[in-house]
Amino acid sequence: MSLVSDHDMRTLVRMIEVMFPHGSFPPGPYERAAREVLDAAETNPRSLAQLCQGLHDLDRLRDAPFAQLDDAVALTVLRGIQDAPFFVAVHSVASVRFYDDHEVWELLGYEGPSFAKGGYVERGFDDLDWLPEPRVEEVSR
């Protein structure tokens, strides 16, 4: 059973979508990151209260609920609160969970950690053919 309303959960998902905008991504990674934020907050009554109050306050910062704001306005709202403890708490959990999601890895073309596969050196580490050649050569002295 969740301790936040469906509306709050939609607001949290929208917040994470605005924080990490990838227009072609499906909702799953954003929803899983929001769930992780909520799970982390539910372990501490103060954190849960902060999360619920922050989500409530997001809806009061404009004439429409945060989840209904267009991307530009929603981003402006988040920039205005980026130093608030509520924002920092959500961002710290969501950034790790979102970019540690294997679906996100696949969408971004990341193959995952290489250590168990022998590292990157023998596995195409130097296949970045889209990068320009270095302009500076190493000089030994």
Domain range summary for the chain, segments of one domain joined by +: 6-117
Residue 137 has a pLDDT of: 72
Report which DSSP code applies to 114: -
H-helix segments, 1-141? 6-19, 27-41, 45-60, 71-80, 85-99, 102-108
> What is the value of pTM for the model shown?
0.81
Average pLDDT per consecutive 10 residues, the chain (141 residues; last block may be shorter): 84 98 95 97 95 96 96 97 97 97 92 76 65 69 61
